[in-house]
Structure 1
Amino acid sequence: MGVQTFVKKLIRCISCALKYTFAVCIMPFVKNSRSYKNLWLIAERGIDARDNAYYLFKYITKNQPEINIAYVISRDSADRERVLSIGRVIDFGSFRHFISLAVSKVKISTHIMGYTPYIDFFVRLDKLGLVRGKKIFLQHGIIKDNLTYLYSGNVHTDLFVCSAKPEYEYVRDNFGYKNGVVQMLGLCRYDALQKPTRTNKVLVMPTWRYSLQGVDKEQFIQSDYFRKFDELLTSKRLCELLKKYDCELLFYPHIQMQGFIDCFSSSERVKIMSFKDCTVQELLINTDVLITDFSSVFFDYAYMEKPVIFYQFDETDFRKHHYSEGYFDYKRDGFGKVLYDLEPVLVELDSILARDAKVETEYLKRINSFFTLRDKNCCERNFNAIKEIAER
């Protein structure tokens, strides 16, 4: 970490400490007011509303109007209007945000401490027991790796939501939480997933790379990550396939890679998608085939019984710098072929499109075995579990 970055973080931590201390001091005078009494504070990361927190907020405001709930989102967020049309909003980073954090009875987010003005600072503060209220971890996706930073002791939460039996058993047995904290309820966003209809669109959605954090564009274009995916996007064989099946390919890098999207090549049938263009869920619903590497979005795709290709050209390096493997083995448990070179990926894509984007029987059996909880009641189950915790 450079000196300038360190100083900026230090100043931000001091600012948060002062504002939060003041908010805690005035908490006794405002906690019974209409705005703050029995408040449920909900967020994703303070900048977005397109994941499980958004769908739970939408469910609660529509079906449980007696709950005093407010969504934290920044003024410049591309998703702000979507949230404003549903219910009450608190500006991310405002002093009202600090007061709401101090006062709120229930705190809900898709990311650990996602409802706070500064995640890193409040994670540390929470370890000291200085963040009050019931804490709910909705999750951002299904866990498949050994995420030690989510172990009990590193995180304090009253509810840890899981969505599949193998995931639930793995977290329950290995993460060290007390009985009843880890519950299999289903991701709230799954209620909005739809059965597939052909769109003639192929989605390429890779995850991020820890090894590329902090690099500039010149360094980025020298990486295997850039070279491999740009090679895919500019492939003559891909262009022929897209034309053959009258398809379009949409490339959507992880949010942490979005700063480099202008480095990638687009064409008549290859479109580069940004965070502001659409939500991840819209892309998952409105495409026929997913090509990914290690991104957990493939679980959402499989949930809809849509075909997946795993392009894992840097498997060894990924495991070295990123998350260590958990219970999920892509070759044994995955919902599509695991491939390491471009040509086999394109051969498999051709095969999938030729069979009208249907999932092969082998992978359909794996999907049905993995997802034993598949209905439209995830939001309801999450709400009931949170309400029970709030009333303790």
Structure 2
Amino acid sequence: MNTVKINSIKNLNGHIEIRIEADESHKNPILYVKARKEENCSLSFSPYSFNNNKVIFRIPASSLSYTNIYYDAYLEYINRDGDLVQERIKNSSRRKRLALNLLNLKHQRVQHSEHEYLVTEYFAVGGYLAFQVRETDEYDNYKYKLKEFLACLLAPLMYWRYKDSKLIYEKFSNYARDNSFYYFAYTQKNDKHNKLFYIITKNSPDIKNLEPYKKNVVYFMSIKHILLILISKYFIASESKGHAYAWRHNQSIPRYFLNRKPFVFLQHGVLGLKKVDRTFFANNRLNHADLFITSSEIEKKIVLDFLGYKEQDVAVTGLARWDNFKGLSKEKKIFVMPTWRVQLDLLSDEEFLRSEFYLAYSKLLHSTKIKQILHDNSYQLHFMLHPKFVRFEKYFMSDDENIKIIHQSEEPIDQELKTSELLITDYSSIMWDALYYDCPTLLFQFDQDDYLQRQGSYLDFQADLKDIIIKNPQILLKKIVAFMQNKETVNLSSLKQKYFSYTDQENSKRIYDSIGQWESSYQFKPLYKKHS
């Protein structure tokens, strides 16, 4: 089967004009634009014109809904044999693909209500035509394009100074409180000649944490930051590569270099309760980890069996943030933090308010019984949503003095865990942190059947965790009362022995040693060759 090829792409008065090579073997051609994450969202377009072995389509940029981020393009036609064929559209010229992706030449601005969106054409892995729709942000300003231009000019001059540098960061390069920060702090204290640089936004709530190490701090989207993306040897992070640069700005020269650099994945949590998407799979060309950090042999087996990594690509060390466990004094407090659900990603506000998730936690927060329980036992309840729910945070509130709605930007999760007497979550990996910190945990899985069908788990809930799983809201309240009055808990020691290879405070040292061993054997490709 011959892939349908593009002749040219133009932006014309709010339309994307696509010229495709076609002839008499492509009868009744129709262009389909399909949303990548929503199977039922597909747009079809008839030819604008068809002549001289070229079929021309014009797509109104505003027709690509902002509720879907990525779209792929297909041509459907009847071939010479009378078969209905549907093929992806590609550009076979690497030079033209790079020109479009690196220079970000093809985009249009579309107004939806009070927000402006950018519709961008680009070529995905394999050279296939795709579209991205994202809201415009400050990094679309031309001053950042100028910074990128200057960084590209400086890269050959500064290469030999920074060629051994490494970059480290956390979510959106806006935090310094997770595995990346604790590993970075370890290297600054124990390796005086390290060339590890921490990326952080200037207005980060955690900027104070980096004050002792400011000579190795670079500000997000500064010229030096972009320069180091171009030159640095590799990246280390607790998030994907995309968090090291302007979010979803996928077409630029820095992004091109970022995508091709080696990557050490410190992990954000521990694998087990939730099957992960393909972002970190070994066969993902853009985000796969060249070294994957894990906490136990059980987790390592998940990475090998389900994510497709090889033995030499995985290290069992423990998480860097666990080294900071200093046994803070406990407060009479219950910490409630549910994780996100894949089916809630694209819901409107009205649909979310009807969801089983919202109704379950709203009832818990507004329950007369939970308020009475907290009051009678002098306990506080702190409720925190996963960051992916940030646009729905406004719907979770309480007028009770013992119930506090908190946000991740206000209070680090590990601080909440270390000072709470009980954690209530569902499928979140923070369960493993709570276990490490000896914080009793209940898993409120009122939607377990639906969750397993949509998301899935690497563990057998009934075999592995049945003693702490609760499906009924009334039983959850009874368990909370029993805990407050009798400190009734499950024995954690057996779970710790099973799921953690180490429970000391040497995780960062093991990570450091593992990275050093990996680096010494990895075949790095130089950006420039030194001439004599």
Common topology (TM > 0.5): yes
C-alpha distance in structure 2 between counterparts of 1:129 and 1:335, whole Å: 46
Does residue 116 of the first structure (1) align with residue 267 of the second (2)?
no
Secondary structure, counterpart of 2:312 in structure 1? coil
Does residue 381 of the first structure (1) align with residue 510 of the second (2)?
yes
Does residue 360 of the first structure (1) align with residue 490 of the second (2)?
yes
Which residue of 2 is the match for residue 31 of structure 1?
159
Relative to total residues, which structure has the larger helix share, 1 or 2?
1
Which residue of 1 is the match for residue 463 of structure 2?
332
State how 1:97-112 maps to structure 2 within 5 Å.
97-112=225-240
Which residue of 2 is the match for residue 269 of structure 1?
402
Shift, 1:302, TM fit: 0.9
Q: Which amino acid aligns with 1:385?
A: S
Q: Which amino acid aligns with 1:378?
A: N
Find the partner of 1:53 among 157, 180, 193: 180
Which residue of 1 is the match for residue 44 of structure 2?
none
C-alpha distance in structure 2 between counterparts of 1:6 and 1:171, whole Å: 36
Which residue of 2 is the match for residue 151 of structure 1?
281
Q: Which runs of 5+ in 2 are unaligned?
A: 1-63, 67-109, 111-116, 121-131, 522-532
Does residue 316 of the first structure (1) align with residue 442 of the second (2)?
no
Secondary structure, counterpart of 1:334 in structure 2? helix
Shift, 1:7, TM fit: 1.3
Cα–Cα, structure 1 residues 324 and 126, in superposed 2: closer, same or farther, change >3 Å?
farther
Secondary structure, counterpart of 2:241 in structure 1? coil
Which residue of 2 is the match for residue 301 of structure 1?
434
Equivalent pairs, count: 386
C-alpha distance in structure 2 between counterparts of 1:194 and 1:216, whole Å: 42
Q: Which amino acid aligns with 1:341?
A: N
Most deviating of 91-100 and 24-33: 24-33
C-alpha distance in structure 2 between counterparts of 1:148 and 1:211, whole Å: 14
Secondary structure, counterpart of 1:388 in structure 2? helix
Which residue of 2 is the match for residue 7 of structure 1?
119
Q: Which amino acid aligns with 2:168?
A: I
Shift, 1:381, TM fit: 0.8
Which residue of 2 is the match for residue 247 of structure 1?
379
C-alpha distance in structure 2 between counterparts of 1:130 and 1:253, whole Å: 30
String of CA shifts for 1:187-245, please: whole Å, max 9, x gaps. Answer: 10011124474310000000112222244433332222111101001111111221222
Shift, 1:24, TM fit: 5.4
Secondary structure, counterpart of 1:32 in structure 2? helix
User: Which is bigger in relative contact order (C-alpha 8 A, separation at least 6)?
Assistant: 1
Cα–Cα, structure 1 residues 123 and 386, in superposed 2: closer, same or farther, change >3 Å?
farther
Cα–Cα, structure 1 residues 211 and 44, in superposed 2: closer, same or farther, change >3 Å?
same
Shift, 1:378, TM fit: 0.5
Which residue of 2 is the match for residue 220 of structure 1?
352
Which residue of 2 is the match for residue 140 of structure 1?
268
Shift, 1:98, TM fit: 1.8
Does residue 41 of the first structure (1) align with residue 167 of the second (2)?
yes
Q: Which amino acid aligns with 2:238?
A: T
Cα–Cα, structure 1 residues 162 and 21, in superposed 2: closer, same or farther, change >3 Å?
farther
Q: Which runs of 5+ in 1 are unaligned?
A: none
Relative to total residues, which structure has the larger strand share, 1 or 2?
2
Decide whether the 8 Å contact of 2:235 with 2:263 is kept in 1: yes
Shift, 1:276, TM fit: 2.5
Q: Which amino acid aligns with 1:51?
A: D
Cα–Cα, structure 1 residues 225 and 146, in superposed 2: closer, same or farther, change >3 Å?
closer
Secondary structure, counterpart of 1:183 in structure 2? strand
C-alpha distance in structure 2 between counterparts of 1:93 and 1:62, whole Å: 26
- Provide the aligned C-alpha RMSD in A: 3.0
Q: Which amino acid aligns with 1:235?
A: S
Q: Which amino acid aligns with 2:180?
A: A
Decide whether the 8 Å contact of 1:49 with 1:83 is kept in 2: yes
Q: Which amino acid aligns with 2:512?
A: F
Q: Which amino acid aligns with 1:271?
A: K
Secondary structure, counterpart of 2:503 in structure 1? coil
C-alpha distance in structure 1 between counterparts of 2:380 and 2:260, whole Å: 49
Most deviating of 257-266 and 62-71: 257-266
Secondary structure, counterpart of 2:270 in structure 1? coil
Q: Which amino acid aligns with 2:480?
A: L
String of CA shifts for 1:366-389, please: whole Å, max 9, x gaps. Answer: 232222311100111111111233
Q: Which amino acid aligns with 1:368?
A: Q
Q: Which amino acid aligns with 2:294?
A: C
Cα–Cα, structure 1 residues 277 and 119, in superposed 2: closer, same or farther, change >3 Å?
closer
Most deviating of 142-151 and 373-382: 142-151
C-alpha distance in structure 2 between counterparts of 1:346 and 1:78, whole Å: 35
Q: Which amino acid aligns with 1:47?
A: N
Most deviating of 5-14 and 103-112: 5-14
Q: Which amino acid aligns with 2:505?
A: K
Decide whether the 8 Å contact of 2:179 with 2:320 is kept in 1: yes
Decide whether the 8 Å contact of 2:230 with 2:258 is kept in 1: no
Does residue 183 of the first structure (1) align with residue 295 of the second (2)?
no
State how 1:189-200 maps to structure 2 within 5 Å.
189-195=321-327, 197-200=329-332
String of CA shifts for 1:43-63, please: whole Å, max 9, x gaps. Answer: 012121111001111111112
Shift, 1:26, TM fit: 4.0
Does residue 72 of the first structure (1) align with residue 202 of the second (2)?
no
Cα–Cα, structure 1 residues 334 and 43, in superposed 2: closer, same or farther, change >3 Å?
same
Identity of aligned residues (%): 26
String of CA shifts for 1:128-156, please: whole Å, max 9, x gaps. Answer: 88745432100000011332512211143
Cα–Cα, structure 1 residues 115 and 265, in superposed 2: closer, same or farther, change >3 Å?
closer
